[in-house]
Amino acid sequence: MRASTIYRGVYVALIAAALVLEFGFLEGRADWYILNYYTLLSNIACLLFFAAGLKSGGFAEAWHPRAEGAITFCIAVTGIVYAALLAPADIAEGSFWTFENLVVHYVGPAMVVVDWLMFSPRGRIRATDPLLWLAMPLAYFGYVLVRSTFAGPIGGSGSRFPYDFIDPAVQGGWDGVMVAVAGMMVGMTALGYIIYGVDRVGARRRQQRLQRPRPSAR
């Protein structure tokens, strides 16, 4: 069995276990409201992507490296935003040091990034892909706007918004929300092009290795 298959199997098992705990299934609950959080949606997307790849017998050519680039971007956003904006509040509340929290916010995102760096072919991501990837967080933001208009508070949070940085009551109105979202879009665009740059550099180095003359047999 290939190292990549074992690695991805471990990833799938970890994320599946963390999600079971997040939803409260082991405690006889089904907290479906957590599907309103980008963290859960991005982790579920990654779980389905890697589980489907394993079921197909591995990540063959049919499992497009461009798709893994998109998945990597999606979950990297989860890890970065959580570490930068959300982790301090969870540490203060005492909910930070749980298995499921660490897996969905740190371990899972890190494993997907490492998988992309180690096992995904280089040179497949296009220059326009990072801009297309922005459709995922923008679609999520659009969903939040619609949901907050027609639905009540999420779970027991007391807020119709899943995160404070997109809650106008916290940001001092919609102007503050739009400034926060615009800043995040700039940061996400930069992240997308970092991924693209790494892909380009890796492809160039691979091409250089292939073009090196092989030593003649003696």
Mean pLDDT of 32-45: 97
Give pLDDT, residue 11: 96
* Percent of the residues in the chain that have a pLDDT greater than 90, as a whole number: 76
Mean pLDDT of 7-28: 96
DSSP class of 218: -
On whether the CB atoms of residues 5 and 58 are closer than 8 A, the answer is yes
Would you list the domain boundaries of the chain?
Answer: 3-211
Tokens coding 73 = 């971007």
What is the C-alpha to C-alpha distance for residues 79 and 71, in angstroms, rounded to an integer?
A: 13
What is the C-alpha to C-alpha distance for residues 185 and 181, in angstroms, rounded to an integer?
A: 6
- Please state, in angstroms and as integers, the Cα–Cα distance from residue 205 to each residue in 69, 121, 123, 209, following that order: 19, 12, 10, 6
Hey, how many other C-beta atoms are within 10 angstroms of the C-beta on 98? 14
